[in-house]
Chains A and B, each alone.
Chain A
Amino acid sequence: MGVQNYLYLSAILFTIGAAGVLLRRNAIVVFMCVELMLNATNLAFVTFARIHGNLDGQIIAFFVMVVAAAEVVVGLAIIVTIFRTRRSTSVDDANLLKY
């Protein structure tokens, strides 16, 4: 089994995540899909680190995890606030910032 299969998996996971972000309306689900995309990229980074035999990809993967953790904190807080004011978590309902 070649190492490139991890890359295929990463691509599939990223596509699923992206499709979820674009197609789902529920903010929580969109959020989870974003996490899925981030982890798909993490998988790709780690795989590349393995292929090239150095640690650069792994280090970047750690950075991505840290940023993702911070993002979750902020993002969930926003979603909770929106839900409190608008009684909805649909991203299409929160469309006030426009022309």
Chain B
Amino acid sequence: MSFPYAPVLAAAEPASVAQASGTADLTWLLLAFPIAGAAVLLLGGRRTDRFGHLLGTLASAASFVVALVLWLDMAGRDVEERATIQKLWTAIDVGRFHVDIALQLDQLSMAFVLLITGVGTLIHIYSIGYMAHDPDRRRFFAYLNLFVAAMLLLVLGSDYFVVYIGWEGVGLASYLLIGFWGRNPAYATAAKKAFVANRVGDVGMSLAIILMFTTFGATDFVRVHAAAAGAGEGTLTAIGLLLLLAACGKSAQLPLQSWLGDAMAGPTPVSALIHAATMVTAGVYLIVRSGPIFDLAPTAQLVVAIVGAATLVFGAVIGLAKDDIKKALAASTMSQIGYMVLAAGLGPAGYAVAIFHLLTHGFFKAGLFLGAGSVMHAMNDTTDMRRFGGLRTAMPVTFVTFGLGYLAIIGFPLLSGFWSKDKIIETAFHEGGVEGWTLGVVALLGAGITAFYMTRVMVMTFFGPRRWAEDAHPHEAPAVMTAPMVLLALGSVFLGGILAYGGMLQDWLEPVVGGHGEEEGVTTLSPIVVTLLTLLVVAGGAAAAYLQYGRREVPVVAPVGSPATIAARNDLYQDAFNEAVLMRPGQYLTRSLVYADNRGVDGAVNGLAALIGGTSGRLRRLQTGFVRSYALSMLGGAALVVGALLLVRI
């Protein structure tokens, strides 16, 4: 059967990626463990309540072990032979449209797989303690496993179509987990908000896939990226912008950022795993993975960088005013992902840097969230930082791990964030021209604001006088919770240095994302100057925050504040904006459509029926039942017929 469609460009035959063999055959196991875990826990129901949390953690840990084995195997092979594809089965085979469910394990996916399974396992372990008193703990672990499986499918799919399945899967898991305590209507609303905002992005993704198919006749990475050079720039820009829309939805970038703050309604481990370390970075993955498309569409690439820069400032400003510790961290996440998207928008020079910051951020932000969860756990689920203070003596382990995460995120020298964030600022300046200077200055400014709001969080939570509620008796969390925090803190301290040592991560990723681009850039500021400037700005931000919140009394009830503070507290009116610009017009549109349907379409149909009914009702009156009137009409009719015949004759 022939397919009546001819693609504009003939897709190149895939050649550059080897079929999986040997140890790489085990790639499917990565997915199998968490899927099996989720299936057993969801289908097993209450019968699995007793050991559900252990099974879920075990599934995630098994996946991590497989990931480690695959990583060692991959590292042992030659650079050209590292990337493998394992075809599982054919999903769609209609005419020219052919989609395989296949797993592509290359250097980029490997980095993600290790992050997802590694941090994921730590957070599973932490959740055993954090969710210990929740009657629905088994369901929680089932959803976590479901999330891990979907996220792995997202980063392992060798085809945009397969990525889309994972993309939707993580959206579902995120929805289920944000609304985990959906008995509270506000939490259920937050889950729905996240889902709807994500849907907007998903539409962009599906349109991008459709456009790829009509342009290239294929949707897998190898063919699409090979054929990209032959497509028009307009088409590539359209695909790039649609992919950016998808990334904005998933990664909470402007203009689809509003859901992330509310997503903190979910249990804290969820915020750490999904809304800080992994899922929200899927947008960055998508952009980096689609690098060959963005490289050929400079306009789309510039838009990516601008969106990233705008979001990084937007998130940082919101973070300045939030009193809720989780919402402050959420704003920080938005801002940090803005950094990654900015780096990804800088082209081949930035891809590896974006992934670098993504990995370090995955560790220190997950650590910060787990620390926040530990604090909440100790303070009867209070999240208001104005009711904290002086917790460093009560919770020493949390204080140290949180503090290391804090130092990492503000970019304290030699800690993880220092290496990765500094590299982004440096790369931005390296772009040269008005663009490079603007993006660089914005990134530099963002680093200062980051230092300010993170110092504020740190000082308000752990230092100063105790402003606790009367019934608060803070205590250190159990070992099952502190151990993951310690491990993540170690990652926050050392991971950046290890990955930056000799450009290790960049060399590792080079076959996938391209070279460093050291030689093409314009020299604007030397790296040393950028580093010193960054440190200066960071020190300034931290000092300002210390003077504001460390030296002075922090009021328990938030002061009214300046208009700027009120705006930042209200998320810079993002919800009011969405409501006024999108929701209200949307409602008016649907209402007017309903009106038009009722009055216009239904009106025409009903009116016609009423007209015919009314007319026939009137015509019915002619049937009087009087024989003589019938006779008269017969006579008249006969006379008319005869008259007509005569007229025709003559």
> Do A and B make up one complex?
yes
Residue of B nearest to A37 (CB): B635
| Apart from A92-B626, A95-B624, A95-B627: 5 A-B pairs, beta carbons within 8 A | A21-B628, A23-B628, A95-B626, A98-B625, A99-B623
A91 beta carbon closer than 8 Å to chain B: yes
The CA of A92 and the CA of B631, in the complex, are separated in Å by 12
The CA of A39 and the CA of B322, in the complex, are separated in Å by 110
Contact of A95 among B621, B625, B632, B635 (CB under 8 A): B625
B50 beta carbon closer than 8 Å to chain A: no
- Residues in A neighbouring B627, C-beta threshold 8 A: 30, 91-92, 94-95
B628 touches A92 (CB 8 A): yes
A18 beta carbon closer than 8 Å to chain B: yes
Give 1 or 0 for each of A55-99: 1 = CB within 8 Å of chain B CB.
000000000000000000000000000000000000110111111
Give 1 or 0 for each of B417-429: 1 = CB within 8 Å of chain A CB.
0000000000000
Q: Tell me the dominant secondary structure on chain A's binding face.
A: loop
Nearest Cβ distance between residue A90 and chain B, in whole angstroms? Answer: 10
A1 beta carbon closer than 8 Å to chain B: no
Contact of B621 among A21, A22, A30, A99 (CB under 8 A): A99
B551 beta carbon closer than 8 Å to chain A: no
A98 touches B624 (CB 8 A): yes
Number of A-B contacts (CB under 8 A): 33
B interface with A by C-beta (< 8 Å): 620-621, 623-628, 631-632, 635
Residue of B nearest to A96 (CB): B625
Number of interface residues of A (CB under 8 A): 14
Residue of A nearest to B621 (CB): A99
Residue of B nearest to A21 (CB): B631
A18 touches B635 (CB 8 A): yes
Nearest Cβ distance between residue B403 and chain A, in whole angstroms? Answer: 94
Q: List 7 A-B contacts (CB under 8 A).
A: A21-B628, A23-B628, A91-B626, A91-B627, A94-B627, A95-B624, A99-B624
Nearest Cβ distance between residue A26 and chain B, in whole angstroms? Answer: 11
A interface with B by C-beta (< 8 Å): 18, 21-23, 25, 30, 91-92, 94-99
- Residues in A neighbouring B624, C-beta threshold 8 A: 95, 98-99
Nearest Cβ distance between residue A96 and chain B, in whole angstroms? Answer: 6
- Residues in B neighbouring A25, C-beta threshold 8 A: 628
Nearest Cβ distance between residue B315 and chain A, in whole angstroms? Answer: 77
Contact of A22 among B623, B625, B632 (CB under 8 A): B632
- Residues in A neighbouring B628, C-beta threshold 8 A: 21-23, 25, 30, 91-92
- Residues in A neighbouring B635, C-beta threshold 8 A: 18, 22
Nearest Cβ distance between residue B344 and chain A, in whole angstroms? Answer: 79
Residue of B nearest to A23 (CB): B628
A99 touches B620 (CB 8 A): yes
- Residues in B neighbouring A30, C-beta threshold 8 A: 627-628
The CA of A23 and the CA of B626, in the complex, are separated in Å by 12
Residue of B nearest to A19 (CB): B635
The CA of A99 and the CA of B619, in the complex, are separated in Å by 10
Contact of B631 among A22, A94, A99 (CB under 8 A): A22
- Residues in B neighbouring A95, C-beta threshold 8 A: 624-627
A97 touches B625 (CB 8 A): yes
- Residues in B neighbouring A94, C-beta threshold 8 A: 627
The CA of A95 and the CA of B623, in the complex, are separated in Å by 10
Nearest Cβ distance between residue A30 and chain B, in whole angstroms? Answer: 8
- Residues in B neighbouring A98, C-beta threshold 8 A: 623-625
The CA of A96 and the CA of B631, in the complex, are separated in Å by 16
The CA of A23 and the CA of B631, in the complex, are separated in Å by 10
Residue of B nearest to A92 (CB): B626
- Residues in A neighbouring B632, C-beta threshold 8 A: 22
- Residues in A neighbouring B620, C-beta threshold 8 A: 99
The CA of A94 and the CA of B624, in the complex, are separated in Å by 11
Residue of A nearest to B622 (CB): A99
The CA of A91 and the CA of B631, in the complex, are separated in Å by 12
Residue of A nearest to B624 (CB): A98
The CA of A20 and the CA of B250, in the complex, are separated in Å by 93
The CA of A2 and the CA of B632, in the complex, are separated in Å by 33
